[in-house]
Structure 1
């Protein structure tokens, strides 16, 4: 049975992107995955894990580079999705920790919910904590919720939950329904996405998962060619309606079918009671890549 979760571990300084990714990938390598410091513990004993970064600055150059890739304007506050960039090294640190029972390779980001309690200024110093608890059941495996809290001046400025699916053996318990977005809009404006979008987004996010980079690296992991990052599809969707959203807002999305690169997607948004419903779809058949909603927080 899981025991009490350990206290949060601190990542000091600037986390090494390549080193963090390599450490997270090693448990998927046969033979290597049995070495001390790499070998994963049993899932039944996993009580949770937490990492934090202190006084992380939302630097102007990085915010502007991210905004440019995702379609946001240059402003004195960060895009509502940007704090995820500050949390991503914590996600990878957790997945690379031997106490975390699953390899990072094969973790599928299926849902993401962000609540911004206020605008975060460029240049602000932020404390960022990400924690994950024991897995919960899913029809195709287990789900793990990575919960991030961003604080400044003693108050919570931003929160998110990134839900990952690990396919395989499930566990006992009731399967909770995922995000439901009734009657998402279809059609709308079309965006042509270049072949190097995954590499461009990786350069500003630190997420260099091979499935996003090149056809060869994507095929090695079961995809016919590289796919866009799910968090890019969310950021680009939010950028399209950002000027209609309040500073205090909750944006929830479910990632559906992958977006292959190069490719064309359609984006549509509809104002509903109390907020917006939006979707990114395949313009040929209307099948969804992403569905979401934004409501005042």
Structure 2
């Protein structure tokens, strides 16, 4: 499996230009079956950037990184992987289906991190082809955090293909969130994810949305920050979310969470509870 190593995180400006170019290219090549691994052996957290991330997601200050923050650090490597000529799918238009994070122990905010990213073989889906981008973060040569991001490349699909979905929990709302129109731009500034569907009404309409939509990883982070404030989070746990329906901005949404004994179920609904935007489950390790 070929490996590409970096002395510093790839610049997002050039990566977005490559992403657009990769989307426009013709698919005249075969996937690299050996895959490509990207590594950033030494990464330090910019504390101002971390503060901005906490503010937009709701995580309180503390000695450890928010559990979703390493995903932001790995995101430039995700873009680099998906815009590489060996990558078999056009990156623009890929749909984020789910995300699973496992924190094996809290990550100190001043730790030196090592980050690696690679993709898995494709598998069929009723609406196209699904693949995962896997990320891992190590501290002192010990893996302390992993992330699996499941993505859909739309095509004719396989109607009989199995889809792995979290069960829909029956939850009563704990909170009402009033989300402003600029939320996508605020999270983009803190995360680096400047996909145009999240930024402005006109740019979202160019991709078929009536107006801009919230980032899925913002929704996951905000949900976990809310659970942390009310119930606390364990030091070691796995948390998965499925992204069901786009969350349009501005909007009012209901957040619900409940412990079922061994795990915590949570969800985001629209304000009349008729549409599910996100379903999640957190289980201690």
The aligned counterpart of 2:125 is 138
Q: Distance in 2 between matches of 1:25 and 1:142?
A: 20
Q: Deviations over 1:154-182 (max 9, x none)?
A: 2111001000011104479x834323234
2:49 is aligned with 1:54: no
In the alignment, structure 1 residue 181 sits paired with structure 2 residue 181: no
- 1:292 pairs, out of 273, 280, 284, with 280
CA distance in 2, matches of 1:11, 1:262: 38
- Tell me how far apart the structure 1 counterparts of residues 189 and 167 of structure 2 sit (CA, whole Å): 32
Match of 2:99 in 1: 112
Counterpart of 1:22 (choices 17, 35, 58) is 17
Query: How far is 1:284 from its partner?
Result: 1.8
Count matched residues: 283
Which residue of structure 2 lines up, in the alignment, with residue 272 of structure 1? 260
- In structure 1, the partner of 2:112 is 125
Matches for 1:159-238 after TM superposition, within 5 Å: 159-170=146-157, 175-238=161-224
Q: How does 1:86-101 map to 2 (within 5 A)?
A: 86-101=73-88
* Distance verdict in 2 for CA 1:240–1:54, change over 3 Å: same
- Please give the root-mean-square deviation of Cα atoms over the aligned residues, in Å: 1.7
Instruction: Please state how far the C-alpha of 1:152 moved relative to its aligned partner.
Output: 1.1
Cα pair distance change 1:154/1:28, threshold 3 Å: closer
Q: Closer, same or farther in 2 for the Cα pair 1:169/1:227, shift >3 Å? A: same
How far, CA to CA, are the matches of 1:107 and 1:11 in structure 2?
A: 25
Say which is worse superposed, 229-238 or 280-289, in terms of deviation: 280-289
Question: Deviations 1:187-206 (Å, cap 9, x if unpaired)?
Answer: 33110111111111000111
Alignment partner of 1:241 is 2:227:
yes
Partner SS, residue 72 of structure 2 = helix
Whole-angstrom CA distance in 1 between matches of 2:274 and 2:258: 16
CA contact (8 A) 2:7 2:42 kept: no
2:190 aligned counterpart, secondary structure = helix
Q: Is the 8 A contact 2:9 2:76 kept in 1?
A: no
Q: Secondary structure at the match of 2:67?
A: coil
Kindly provide the CA deviation profile for residues 4-46 of structure 1, in whole angstroms up to 9, marking residues without a partner as x: xx322123313211211121121223xxx25xxxx66234x54
Q: Does structure 2 conserve the Cα–Cα contact (< 8 Å) formed by 1:179 and 1:253?
A: no
Secondary structure at the counterpart of residue 83 of structure 1: helix
TM-score after normalising by structure 1 = 0.91
Q: Tell me by how many angstroms 1:118 deviates.
A: 0.4
Q: Is the 8 A contact 2:3 2:37 kept in 1?
A: yes
Q: Quick one: distance in 1 between partners of 2:7 and 2:194? A: 21
The match for 1:257 is 245
Gaps of 5+ in 1: 1-5
Per the TM alignment, residue 60 of structure 1 is displaced from its structure 2 partner at its CA by: 1.8
What is the SS of the residue equivalent to 1:166? strand
1:124, 1:241 → 2: CA distance?
A: 25
Contact 1:181 1:292 in 2 (8 A): no
